[in-house]
Amino acid sequence: MADVSVIGQGTTIRGRISGAVDLDIAGHVDGEINVDGEVTVDRDGLVSANIEARIVIVRGAVKGDIIAQELVALEAGARVVGDLKAPRVSIAHGALVRGQVQAGGGVSSGKLISRPAARPAARPAHVEAPRVERTAARPELKAPAPRVVPSVLATRTNGSHSSATPEKKGPPPLVVPVLKKVKGAIAKRR
């Protein structure tokens, strides 16, 4: 209890925060955060700083790189512009990221990591987490997964690993008739 620091909603800190405590940020921080503990950026939190900590949990906005010794967790509502680096990275549905993601145990598994990381780098739009999480968190399940999972899910997992082509082949027959109907409907109305 005594070791938890709270940056309240009406508080702005400009400068460097360091120490060995947990940090709960609901206000603004501008500068640098280097803490040996858990950093939580709340829904109202606005951080414009590089964050280094053991665990980083984000529900608010962060502009800066996040490096964690254990875990980076972006929860729904998180907005992050910057790179993520941690042994475990989770990005929840509804979290937005723009930047490089490096999940896994550092240099040795760098080849595995490069795939999911390439996506947000190449296409700096809003990246939704579940895909990154699947590829990053369960590399060992690649082989058994398609056998167990029903066909729809199997194509999805394949698509996320290789390219997006299997996904595109699936939907078009569904989409085209819908578009024709719509066009027809519009023409008739006019």
Partner 1 sequence: MAGTVIGSGITIEGEISTDDDLVIQGSVRGKVIGKESVTIEQGASVEADVSGSTLTVQGSVTGNINAADRVDLQTGARVIGNVRAARFTIADGAQFKGNVDMDV
**Interface with partner 1 (CB under 8 A):** 2-23, 27, 31, 35
Shortest distance (Å) from residue 180 CB to partner 1 = 58
CB 71 → partner 1: shortest distance, Å? 21
Ramachandran sector of residue 77 (left: φ over 0; alpha: ψ -120 to 50; beta: rest):
left
21: burial class by Cβ within 10 Å (0-12, 13-18, 19+)?
middle
Distance of closest approach, residue 86 Cβ to partner 1, in angstroms? 22
Closest CA to 86 of 62, 102, 65, 109: 102
Of 51 and 129, nearer to partner 1 (C-beta) is 51
CB burial of 170-179 (b: ≥16 within 10 Å; e: otherwise) equals eeeeeeeeee
Q: Least distance to partner 1 from the beta carbon of 3, Å?
A: 5
DSSP per-residue codes, 90-132: EE-TT-EEES-EEESSTTTTHHHHHHHHHHHHHS-S---HHHH
Closest to 103 (Cα-Cα) out of 141, 138, 153:
138
User: For residues 19 and 124, which CB has a smaller minimum distance to partner 1 in the complex?
Assistant: 19
- At residue 146, what is the residue type? P
* Nearer of residues 19 and 105 to partner 1, judged by Cβ: 19
- The minimum distance between CB 177 and partner 1, in angstroms, equals 56
The set of residues, in sequence order, having a beta carbon less than 8 Å from that of 168 and lying 6+ positions away, is none
Q: Which is nearer to partner 1, 9 or 158 (CB)?
A: 9
Please identify, using beta-carbon distances, which residue of 10 and 150 lies nearer to partner 1. Answer: 10
